[in-house]
Amino acid sequence: MQIETTRVETSDGWMDLRRVGQGKTMLFVHGLMVNGHLWDPLVSGLSDRFHLVLPDIPLGGHRTPLGPDADCSLEAHAGRVIELARQLPGPIVLVGNDTGGAISQIAVARAPELFEQLVLLPSDAFDNCPPKLLVPMRPLVGLPGVIQVLGRLLRLGPVKRMFMMLVARSKVPAEHITEMLGDLPNNRGVQRDFVKLMDGLRPHVTKAVAEELHRFKGRVLVVWSRKDPLFPFDHGQKLAACFEQGSVAIAEHSRAFVSLDEPDWLVERIVEFVDGGATPPDAT
């Protein structure tokens, strides 16, 4: 099935996205330092049933920088997701992972009427924003020249693989890593957007939105990894409990990026959930 590549205008700039498939719309929100290619392993399993919308949210792995004065906070990115959702045919299933999971939480709390269902993979939540392991990175990337050094390092194969080892247990092909990182290694505008985003990652944002998640009345599937260095295991159950219709499925063989580690399993869970089937046997 052919993937359509396009660009949409949002607040303070343009956003690249890909669309493929037909049926109910699924809008995917990726995480920090990557782009919509994070979801590529799911495309073949979902595109025959759903209309997949795969934007490159400006979280560091994008290729088109926002304007120099753009707001790069989680709240602003949630506003961009809402803007995009208003342009899509409903009903919409929103899928978020990592930083994109925090953005998705804000989006459904702000505009619950736009989304029919929500799938949250391991994500920033509660007091874990950014994840504790990444907290030292937040002030460092803002120092003069540091982001440029990081960009140069990310051009090196061993550094790319080390980055992936933090978020995925499986061996990710080098070309896929390069595609997911987008222009972060080379583009000063993308690097600027990333630094501004990191500066705004604060737990008060995710703590506040947790108090508002009850506003979303649709069904929610929280897919959480059992052993993940970034996202505490107990946050999966805690996050599901914030919703009226929350359930949890455990990814036993994944880190944060379940779409890379267990794509076939994740496709099955998403299809079962969206179709309203029985709770999968490995859900808790």
Task: List, for residues 191-223, the tens digit of each pLDDT value.
Answer: 999 999 999 999 999 999 999 999 999 999 999
Q: Tell me if 160 is assigned to some domain.
A: yes
SS3 178: helix
DSSP E strands in 173-266: the ranges are 219-225, 246-251
| Distance, CA of 119 to CA of 246 (rounded, Å) | 10
Determine the pLDDT at residue 192.
97
Tell me whether strands 4-10 and 24-29 are parallel, antiparallel or unpaired: unpaired
In three-state secondary structure terms, 90 is: coil
- Domain assignment present for 111: yes
Query: Is residue 281, in this structure, part of any structural domain at all?
Result: no
Exposure b/e, 119-153, CB count within 10 A at least 16 = b: bbbbbbbbebbbbeebeebbeebeeeeebeebbee
Provide the 10 A C-beta neighbour count for residue 213: 23
**Residue 103's domain is classified under what CATH number?**
3.40.50.1820
pLDDT above 60: residue 284: no
Confidence category of residue 2, pLDDT binned at 50, 70, 90: confident
* Rounded-to-integer distance, Cα 43 and Cα 241, Å: 29
Q: Is the pLDDT of residue 236 over 70?
A: yes
What domain range includes position 141? 4-274
pLDDT band at 15 (very low <50, low <70, confident <90, very high): very high
d(CA 179, CA 35) in angstroms, rounded, equals 8
- Phi, psi dihedral angles at 84 (to 5 degrees): -65, -45
Asked whether residue 283 is assigned to any structural domain, the reply reads no
For the chain, percent of residues with pLDDT exceeding 90: 94
pLDDT interval class at 281 (50, 70, 90): very low
Q: Where are the beta strands (DSSP E) in the chain?
A: 4-10, 13-20, 24-29, 50-55, 92-98, 115-123, 219-225, 246-251
Above 50 in pLDDT, residue 110? yes
- Residue 143 CB contacts under 8 Å (≥ 6 apart), including other chains: none
Task: Indicate whether 157 belongs to any domain.
Answer: yes
Q: What is the mean pLDDT of residues 12-24?
A: 94
Question: Element (H or E) spanning 1, and its range?
Answer: none
38 DSSP assignment = G
* pTM of this structure: 0.96
Q: What is the mean pLDDT of the chain?
A: 95
Whether residue 280 lies inside any domain: the answer is no
Residue 48, helix vs strand vs coil: coil
**For the chain, what is the domain count?**
1
Q: In this predicted structure, what is the pLDDT of residue 276?
A: 86
pLDDT at 132: 95
